[in-house]
Amino acid sequence: YCVEFRTESLSQQCALETRPFARWMQYLREGHTVCVACQPPAMSAATRRCPGDGHNAHGDKILHWEAIGNSQCQGTWKKIRQLEHCSCPLVHSFIFT
Q: What is the pLDDT of residues 40-86, one digit of tens each?
A: 888 999 999 998 888 888 768 999 999 988 899 999 999 999 998 88
**Domain count of the chain?**
1
Predicted local confidence at residue 6, as pLDDT? 93
Q: Is the pLDDT of residue 18 over 70?
A: yes
Predicted local confidence at residue 63, as pLDDT? 93
Contact 54, 63 (CB under 8 A): yes
Instruction: List, in sequence order, every residue forming a beta bridge with 91; answer none if it has no partner.
Output: none
* 21 band by pLDDT with thresholds 50, 70 and 90: confident
Give strand ranges (E) for 1-97: 2-10, 33-37, 62-66, 74-83, 93-95
For the whole model, what pTM was predicted? 0.84
**Percent share of the chain, pLDDT over 70:** 96
* 81: nearest Cα among 58, 49, 52: 58
